[in-house]
Amino acid sequence: MESSLVFGNKDKSLGLAFKERLRESENEVELKVAGLLNTKTGRLDGFGSLRKFVFLGGQLPGRNPYLRPAVEKRRTRFELGVSYDLKSEVSIARLGARKNFQLGDRKGHWLKLRADADYDIQRQKPYARGRVELTKDIFDFSTTQDLRVRAGCDALVSQAGNETILQLRPYGQIRENNWTLNTDFKGFYGVRYDL
């Protein structure tokens, strides 16, 4: 189980986050459970999802846990799944696709594209989401750490009556071995420390 301490400038409280992924690699099915305990209010927010993945573009290297992530990164991934959010009490059915492109001949430069079609089961409303992200991995940034820098934009398309609403949300992230700094470039920042 992954766990971390998180702090954001909007809620100004320390949280204890956890995440567990159980993956059955033979059938490419994943169960994910994540949560956040707010240490100020004692509130527990949680999220769970069950997803089935389909990969296109080459064979995976069996069950070798060291080679699989590198090969998966270069393949087109489709997913079908359901999720439930405790905070908003929303169940979502999702169909999504991801594709990563290595930029140039140098390792660690990526353009990542993602598209999702979501359906809110309770409200019976469809949503479309997209993401464009540039990632730069800097290996051996110092003698004891690697660094990853990300910048991107999320787009959410929803319906309100007969009107289509488009929301653009830029974001940025700097991550080293244990520390992560997130921002939306509009005043929000959050810090995470992996335990």
Domain assignments of the chain as residue spans, ordered by start: 2-194
- CA–CA dist 151, 94 (Å, integer): 24
The whole-model pTM stands at 0.83
Q: Which comes out higher in pLDDT, residue 50 or 73?
A: 50
Tell me the per-residue pLDDT of 70-100, one tens digit each, with 9 for 90 and over: 555 667 899 999 999 998 888 999 999 999 9
pLDDT tens digits, residue range 110-154?
999 999 999 999 889 999 999 999 999 988 888 888 999 999 999
Q: What is the DSSP string of 161-172?
A: TTEEEEEEEEEE
Number of helices followed by number of strands (H, E) in the chain: 1, 12
* Burial track 3-29 (b if 16+ CB lie within 10 A, e otherwise): ebebeeeeeeeebebeeeeeeeeeebe
The CA-CA-CA angle for residues 137, 10, 16, to 5°, reads 65
* Cβ proximity of 173 and 149 under 8 Å: yes
Class of the CATH-defined domain 2-194? mainly beta
The residue that leads in pLDDT, 58 or 6, is 6
